């Protein structure tokens, strides 16, 4: 059983599930995970497809890239909602980012500017990345 799975299942039934989107999770990261917000849209979708699909995880993804930016990957059919990117997903994003950089497909120079008050993503090119300001000092993977 996943931690807090039943609690979050019940919160969802009561329409009280609080969702933390990827950009917010990325914003909390420090150290070896501090750069995960630099992953671009395509790689983020690939990471979700690889980690969060029904074949890999029993939870149903309720979070997206941001409040206004959906991730174009099926959410899954699981009974238990996933309210935020988990630590395994954060680690996977780091690996995806490292792999992408290793084959020279980073999109440096096309970073996304974000309004820290609403955390919404802004399209600056055909590909988006999820770079966020270092606004909070604390953090670990969730
Ligand atoms: S973020 Fe983690 S717990 Fe949530 S759906 Fe993806 S793999 Fe499952």
β-pairing verdict for 59-61 and 80-82: parallel
H or E stretch covering 113:
none
Mean pLDDT over 131-135 rounds to: 48
The better pLDDT of the pair 127, 138 is held by 127
CB 123 within 8 A of CB 134: no
The residue nearest atom 2 of ligand 1, judged by CA position, is 86
> From ligand 1's centre to the CA of 61, what distance in Å?
6
Model pLDDT, residue 109: 39
Does residue 90 have its Cβ closer than 6 Å to ligand 1? no
Show me where the domains of the chain are located.
5-102
CATH number of the domain located at residue range(s) 5-102 in this protein: 3.30.70.2320
pTM for this predicted structure:
0.76
Mean pLDDT of 104-118: 40
Span of 43-47, 64-68, 97-101, 135-139 with lowest mean pLDDT: 135-139
Which pLDDT does position 22 carry in this prediction?
98
Phi and psi based region of residue 19 (left: phi greater than 0; alpha: psi -120 to 50; beta: remaining):
beta
Is it the case that residue 34 has pLDDT exceeding 70? Answer: yes
pLDDT in tens, 36-64: 999 999 999 999 999 999 999 999 999 99
């Amino acid at each position: 059983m996943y931690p807090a799975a039943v609690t979050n299942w019940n919160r969802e039934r009561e329409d009280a599930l609080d969702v933390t989107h990827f950009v917010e999770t990325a914003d909390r990261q420090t150290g070896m995970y501090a750069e995960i917000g630099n992953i671009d849209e395509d790689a983020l979708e690939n990471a979700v497809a690889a980690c969060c699909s029904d074949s890999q995880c029993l939870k149903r993804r309720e979070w997206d890239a941001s409040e206004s930016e959906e991730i174009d990957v099926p959410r899954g059919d699981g009974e238990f909602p996933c309210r935020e990117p988990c630590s395994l997903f954060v680690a996977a994003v780091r690996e995806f980012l490292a792999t992408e950089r290793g084959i020279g497909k980073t999109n440096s120079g096309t970073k996304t500017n974000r309004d820290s008050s609403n955390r919404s993503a802004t399209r600056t090119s055909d590909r988006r990345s999820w770079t966020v300001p270092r606004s909070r000092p604390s953090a670990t993977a969730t």
